[in-house]
Structure 1
């Protein structure tokens, strides 16, 4: 494992509350009192702690209690409890590699922003849809999901939603845990945590895990991952705080690829792949210094260093050659390597006024990220009898791309809030972003485009209002814009044929509200309209290769809602769901007009329902049992794909959707915990994602989990 040594001076604003409470209280890692009160505090809307009732947007919090109760061994088991969120992954085959859908089809596009303590884990324009595998899920005490564009604060890629993972704070006294998890999907995982306060001003947290999968129910699905997070909090004074967080992720996984329709339906889980894989090593260190100058002024200074490398022999680039429909025994593929380093600075100042409960946030940020990217072709050997890809050779020097790119993003932003009356708040925000890609083709005249300097800029507004009837109910409305510049590899991979990729812009209109009746009933809902211009989509060319291009206009609209009913203290019933439509408004492909048609891999219905029974026998002994239902509705698998019926007519290729039922049970005695999960208890055959293969004339499937049993144990001290 590569060694990293960096020295930084900095730290984190998001760990300090508005009130100037004692430094020791700010480091407590017990369940937040805000998770007990109706007025939940969040940080995702502005990087500043504020009441949920002051945020004119759809935001959900997965608190410490939910994380502890769920005992998730994948982030998807948590975020999929949020209305309208679907993290599509196969725990049996994908190994944390995933797709995402929030106010958008299930896709790999740069429509989602992943944050740790309010700061991006990757630079703009180097998005990877698998970025969550670069996270350490042991270290999180809370997850906040802000749906809809948040570009006015966070910049580009915050379109469908922003996922903010809040790390655990040091504890007052020496504490920690050791744990083990295993299942019959071939997974085993070892976890540890330790936390303490060296003195009243300095505390630390260290947590991580090592997990691996071997010999799972589907072939070629092994993986291994080590994740470590180290955090220190130093209270320089009662008003100044210095936090540093170090993350290191080392990951390797087979890439199983998708199954054909025949193999899927017959439950033949023999993979066609034998060598495709993904390796990633991600290092991040960030430091934040935050200080209250007085009762009305607070400033935060942040410095971040990132060092990432991802190497792939990707299954989605493998092509098998055919002659008159018969396999020839040969094919093509590629290997690629994407490496970047980042140097990021962010300053934010908050000023409170003695006028109409108003406040102003102003800030500026820069992100300088030099990137190296190389992709070379491979020759694939195929067994014509079985269709298995048995081996490959690298065509060294036969480049698809080979470049360096210096990526520079600079921005300034402000957000102003004012309450003319106590129940009514207006929020206005504006951000300016500038981007510069300095592209250096290392194979001039051989492959790729000429050296270039490309610039993009954007001005992103947001306007929202809140009206709160009381501390437990309110309504809001907002208009916001989102902006996504082209990804660097996408821009220069496609420029020769498509004359460049255009930035995507989105306009979001939203109305929502929330209501709670003591602890008995909690309800929230949102109606939204998201209109996209130059939306980036993926197509296949005549040689069955994937490429990216812009659709003219798209439109997504829908309803998201969540309700929790607690009839008695021990029982709670929760249903989170969404109903949406995702359409092409203006789109042509190969001279055919697909305007006013449904988009592919875009289910109308998503939902999660839970029934939980909790019982505390005494102060030492307790248990909980949860029954869970996951729903994914029917969707088209292609906008152009047609399947022939027995009567000779044609229908659009579709996936029927699925219903999956899970059971979870946990028991605790003093510091010991044991739990078990029964996944897909009715052994439903389903796909984490289905797509249409136009060359085979049928769907292909990323397999979902078969019936499985998961066991875990932990000792807390």
Structure 2
């Protein structure tokens, strides 16, 4: 059993914690793992911060010995906070901002990420499960369970981690099969009728074969209500399974096989009405909505006649072969195949009238293979490898407008519409004159190859040089076999493009002493060009970032204070930006273009301080200056107004957005927290109380920095109180999140034709109790 915060004064209990703790939580805003040193500190009866082992550089190292910005979050801390998916990470690591739009994870690290919520847009922050990349942003919201640790790496990671890691990488490491029979079960009950079960069991199946199975089930009522029929929205009905086999083929050779399944069938990720217009004085819309439409007044509710739904299925199959060739070289082959499909349906007018009904059928299949040779000598450590990735996406995106009487006169004779059915999977294309239809359907294919290497050379006992590089070659191709909007003919589109890039990294590392590391480095990041499936934007060129960073990692005050800090500067070129523009009488199309350059400057600092054996203070702060340097474009609503004659046709609508803040990039963010541990009076049970407060500044969801399309600065509070039995077998955890019940938008959008402002909300105040058993 991993123990993440030890407060008894007995040296033998500290030694036991130090020996049994393998990977421990550390970093920003979360209780780090603490115990006495297993050596001199324990013998002296003192206490200190224990070193944390991670595999961020694809070899086992102390996190304090890696010259890079890393936050490692262990299983105990994830359990303590009622962790569910990647969305729950954003208060656990500095410079990490996670938004959501239509069920797409919009993960930003230091202002680098993607806000594109449409099929075909690659993420800029990679996510890996046991080394296998998750290619699409929607799939990044899958359940995370039976986890050993999560490592959040900040800054470009191209020489070590696959594709599209210009912002960083979130690496999830699951619990592996063990020789000893072990497992756990945890049952959670919380408000909103939350019931969650998670459990796992594993052990030896024969002399050289081990296995492990894990399951997770979540059922929760909605954070909001559809007042039209009283049903829940933003609820959860999910189930996940994972099975693993580990075969020790021979001395120094092993094969791990893993299969995982996750599915959801609920009404999560539903857009809610925010405002009739983003303007203080609304101007006419292209397609005005019925005036008798009534919307819910509570921002978490909706008034809809649509069969709202969120259906997802996700599967992953992995084969990992490790062979120790000799004492110096280890060969690893990591093969993975994944499928992901979703069929969401939502009400874009958010009223009980038949108006804008949105649905999608989205399907991806991906295959990846990584072949890696690791080597480790007295002075030289590193790896070389080859990588292949293939992905196929298909998307069928529809927005139906059943024609009400006032619009009949505007209907286009003979226009093909969408035959609408409440079940999105039953929708068909037809020539229904009672329905206007926006319809975008197509496929896209990616083939990517790479050669990479990363080598660290110890020039002396104190000075090391780390160099790396990746050569990437990719081909993107796609077709849109149907693109149509009311009043527009059915169009098709196809494009393809190949691109290659070499991205190097170099870093100088200096060990001032055993507890202090300083470093300075440069790296170039590469994000693949993109093709938006079902749209008419051509394949974009890759996005390139030149990143510079200096940092300090140190343990001070007899190793009772951990303090890490970094300063960074990013220079972006070919920045991929998207916006929707009018098309046809009331239609719109998405335009993505290599339209901008940008600069990002920032500072991070984080600390953990053991004030006493029983009291710890932790926190961090981030300053982020993420602005466009040169970005000339037009606001799509200015174009609308010009079409309506509200702006003179001869006026150039171009704007220079240089100086505007980049999306999902708060200027200031920080966390401060307190953890107190003690034995219960008259008992050997152990108690841990933790409370933290997090503040994030204003977040814009639009490059135009409209305040109506933003989330103002907000402060949230989380807390937990956990009791653990003397033998670590039983635990009771009482937890609460967003205790001040803030209403927080994670993303917003404007429906062009009606100019309706809608948004996606983070969870309200949640609390509950988790009872756990280890065996």
Sort the TM-score into its range (normalised by shorter chain): 0.7 to 0.9
SS at match of 1:154: coil
1:179 pairs with 180, 186, 206, which one?
186
Question: Higher strand share goes to which structure?
Answer: 1
1:210/1:226 contact within 8 Å kept = yes
Match of 1:522 in 2: 562
Check if 1:552 corresponds to 2:601. Answer: no
Map of 2:270 onto structure 1: 256
Report the alpha carbon displacement of residue 142 of structure 1 after superposing the two structures with TM: 0.7
| Cα offset, 1:140, TM superposition | 0.8
- Aligned equivalent of 1:16: none
Residues 1:623 and 2:656 are matched in the alignment:
no
> What is the CA-CA distance between 1:65 and the residue it aligns to?
3.9
Is the CA contact (8 Å cut-off) linking 2:97 and 2:108 kept in structure 1?
Answer: yes
Kindly provide the CA deviation profile for residues 615-659 of structure 1, in whole angstroms up to 9, marking residues without a partner as x. 24499521211112121112445443667xxxxxxxx87543111
Partner of residue 462 from structure 1, selected from 473, 486, 505: 505
Please give the per-residue CA displacement for 1:451-489, whole angstroms capped at 9, x wherever unaligned. Answer: 544212221111111111223211111111111123333
- With over 3 angstroms needed to count, the CA separation of the structure-2 counterparts of 1:510 and 1:622, relative to structure 1, is same
Alignment of 1:75-114 (within 5 A): 75-88=86-99, 98-104=105-111, 108-109=115-116, 110-114=123-127
Summarize the Cα distance change of 1:422–1:708 in structure 2 as closer, same or farther, 3 Å threshold.
same
Shift, 1:314, TM fit: 5.1
Which residue of 2 is the match for residue 667 of structure 1? 723
Render the CA deviation track for 1:316-365: whole Å, top value 9, x for unaligned: xx368xxxxxx9955445432232333322110123356xx013411111
CA distance in 1, matches of 2:687, 2:128: 33
Could you say if the C-alpha distance between residues 200 and 33 of structure 1 is closer, same or farther in structure 2, counting changes exceeding 3 Å? Answer: farther
Distance of 2:477 and 2:757 partners within structure 1? 40
Q: CA deviation at 1:681?
A: 2.9
CA contact (8 A) 1:259 1:702 kept: no
Change (3 A) 1:705 1:64: closer
CA spacing shift, 1:189–1:267, aligned 2, 3 Å? same
Q: CA deviation at 1:268?
A: 4.6
- SS of the residue corresponding to residue 66 of structure 1 reads helix
8 Å contact 1:625–1:664 — kept in the other structure? Answer: yes
Q: How does 1:475-486 map to 2 (within 5 A)?
A: 475-486=518-529
Does the 8 Å contact 2:133/2:162 carry over to 1?
no
Separation of aligned partners in 2, 1:76 and 1:371: 24
Distance in structure 1 (CA, Å) of the matches to 2:608 and 2:262: 36
Q: CA deviation at 1:204?
A: 1.6
Structure-to-structure mapping, 1:630-709, within 5 angstroms: 630-640=694-704, 655-669=711-725, 670=727, 671-689=729-747, 700-709=758-767
Distance 2:613 2:483 in 1: 69
Supply the distance in 2 between the matched residues of 1:454 and 1:268 (Cα, whole angstroms): 43
Q: Distance in 2 between matches of 1:696 and 1:598?
A: 27
Identify if the C-alpha distance between structure 1 residues 560 and 700 changes in structure 2 by more than 3 Å, giving closer, same or farther.
Answer: farther
Within 2, Cα distance between the matches of 1:264 and 1:567?
52
156-165 vs 169-178, greater mean Cα deviation: 169-178
Which residue pairs with 2:157 in the alignment?
Answer: 150
CA contact (8 A) 1:70 1:78 kept: no
Question: Paired residue for 1:510, among 549, 558, 561?
Answer: 549
When the two structures are superposed, what TM-score results if normalisation uses the length of structure 1?
0.82
8 Å Cα contact 2:441-2:483 kept in structure 1: no
Q: Distance in 2 between matches of 1:346 and 1:413?
A: 10
Match of 2:459 among 420, 439, 442: 420
2:591 and 2:704 map into 1 onto residues whose CA distance is 16
When residues 435 and 592 of structure 1 are mapped into structure 2, their CA distance, relative to the original with a 3 A threshold, is: same
Residue in 2 that maps onto 1:9: none
Larger deviation, residues 621-630 vs 273-282 = 273-282
| Whole-Å separation in 2 of the counterparts to 1:493 and 1:61 | 39
Structure 1: distance between partners of 2:597 and 2:194: 43
Tell me what 1:44 maps to: 56
Q: Does 1:346 align with 2:354?
A: no
3-state SS of 1:489 partner: coil
Q: Deviations over 1:563-590 (max 9, x none)?
A: 1111112221110221101111111112
Correspondent of 2:514 among 471, 490, 494:
471
Q: Distance in 2 between matches of 1:520 and 1:479?
A: 31
Compared with structure 1, are the counterparts of its residues 370 and 692 closer, same or farther at alpha carbon in structure 2 (3 Å cutoff)?
A: closer
Larger deviation, residues 292-301 vs 594-603:
594-603
The yes-or-no answer on 1:585 pairing with 2:629 is yes
Q: Distance in 2 between matches of 1:448 and 1:426?
A: 55
Q: 1:111 to 1:619 in 2, by over 3 A?
A: farther
Aligned pairs, how many? 653
The offset of 1:53, in angstroms, is 4.7
1:31 counterpart residue number: 21
The Cα shift of 1:60 comes to 1.4
How much does 1:153 deviate? 2.3
Contact 1:54–1:425 (8 Å) recurs in 2? no
Distance 1:417 1:400 in 2: 52
In structure 2, the CA distance between the partners of 1:612 and 1:200, relative to structure 1 (3 Å rule), is: farther
Residue of structure 1 in register with 2:618 after alignment: 574
The answer to whether the 8 Å contact 2:518/2:551 transfers is yes
Which range is displaced more, 657-666 or 345-354? 345-354
CA drift of 1:684 comes to: 3.4
Task: Verify: 1:243 aligned to 2:287, yes or no.
Answer: no
Quickly say closer, same or farther: Cα 1:60–1:679, change in 2 above 3 A: closer
Which string of whole-angstrom CA distances, capped at 9 and with x for unpartnered residues, describes residues 50-94 of structure 1? 34355332111112443344443454444521111133469xxx9
Contact 1:566 1:573 in 2 (8 A): yes
Alignment match of 1:493 (pick from 510, 535, 553):
535
| Superposition CA RMSD, Å | 3.5
Residues 100 and 29 of structure 1: is their aligned pair in 2 closer, same or farther, counting only changes over 3 Å?
farther
Match of 2:579 in 1: 539
Question: Quick check: 676-685 or 437-446, which moved more?
Answer: 437-446
Secondary structure in structure 2 of the residue aligned to 1:190:
strand
* Selected match of 1:270 from 296, 301, 325: 301
Matched, 1:604 2:667: yes
Name the CA shift for 1:166/1:654 in 2 (closer, same or farther; >3 Å): closer
In structure 2, list runs of 5 or more residues that go unmatched. 1-17, 25-32, 38-49, 117-122, 227-232, 277-293, 407-419, 431-436, 635-653
Identify if the C-alpha distance between structure 1 residues 662 and 82 changes in structure 2 by more than 3 Å, giving closer, same or farther: same
Partner of 1:131, secondary structure, is helix
Deviates more, 1:144-153 or 1:689-698: 689-698
Partner of 1:25: none
Is the contact made by 1:448 and 1:493 (CA closer than 8 Å) also made in structure 2? no
TM-score (norm 2): 0.76
Is residue 203–residue 233 contact of structure 1 (8 Å, CA) maintained in 2?
yes
Question: Does structure 1 conserve the Cα–Cα contact (< 8 Å) formed by 2:295 and 2:302?
Answer: no
Distance 1:479 1:277, change over 3 A: farther
Residues 113 and 380 (structure 1), Cα distance of their counterparts in 2 relative to 1, 3 Å cut: farther
1:67 lines up with 2:111 in the alignment: no
Match of 1:649 in 2: none
- In 1, Cα distance between the equivalents of 2:198 and 2:70? 30
Inter-CA distance 546–626: structure 2 relative to 1 (3 Å threshold): farther
Q: Which residue of 388, 392, 402 corresponds with 1:366? A: 388
Question: Partners of 1:140 and 1:382 in 2: how far apart?
Answer: 52
Kindly indicate whether residue 609 of structure 2 is the aligned counterpart of residue 565 of structure 1. Answer: yes
Which structure 2 residues correspond to residues 305-316 of structure 1 after superposition, within 5 A? 305-313=337-345
The worse-fitting range, judged by mean Cα deviation, of 568-577 and 595-604 is 595-604
**Structure 1, 542-551 or 152-161: larger mean CA deviation:** 542-551
Task: State the SS of the aligned residue for 1:421.
Answer: coil
When structure 1 is superposed on structure 2, of 421-430 and 74-83 the one drifting more is 74-83
- Looking at structure 1, the residues matched to 349 and 114 of structure 2 have their Cα atoms a distance apart, in angstroms, of 21
- The correspondence for 1:613, drawn from 651, 676, 688, is 676
Matching residue of 1:323? none
